[in-house]
Amino acid sequence: MNRRVLKGAHAFAAGLDAESTAAHALEQDGWHLHARRLRTAAGEIDLIAEKHGLLALIEVKHRATLAGAAASLGPRQRLRLIAAAELVLAENPGWGIAGIRFDVIVVDRAGAIRRIADAFRLGDSTGPGA
């Protein structure tokens, strides 16, 4: 394998590990996971979790630093997540009866984790990575 392919494979594996870390942290905090890596026609949602009727659609970002991870979610990706969420919610009308939000969980190379609750909203261009 060439260097680029190896680097991509490593990044993919690190991303999966970050998603597992994030899922575990959510469960430890009392969240029920509805889905992991849910694919829709509009794109993938990394995690979908609910606690006391509040539904969180979560994007997990892994980078060398927490700041780098937080800055890596751009406007196009936010729009994709919103479109995917609309499809998921249409298929699951009972989810999120107490509200719905978009969260970002960032994980750095050392395994530190931070959650940015209610990270962005429809029409918001000031969220992480804007």
Domain definitions of the chain by residue range: 3-120
Report the distance separating Cα 47 and Cα 1, nearest Å: 31
pLDDT for res 65: 81
Using the 8-state DSSP alphabet, how is residue 31 labeled? P
Q: What is the pTM assigned to this prediction?
A: 0.84
Strand-by-strand arrangement of the 54-62 sheet: 32-40, 43-51, 54-62, 99-107, 113-120
Mean pLDDT of the chain: 87
Least confident interval from 27-31, 100-104, 107-111: 107-111
Whether the pLDDT of residue 69 is over 50: the answer is: yes
**In CATH, what class is 3-120?**
alpha beta
Q: Please, where are the H alpha helices in 1-130?
A: 3-28, 66-70, 75-91
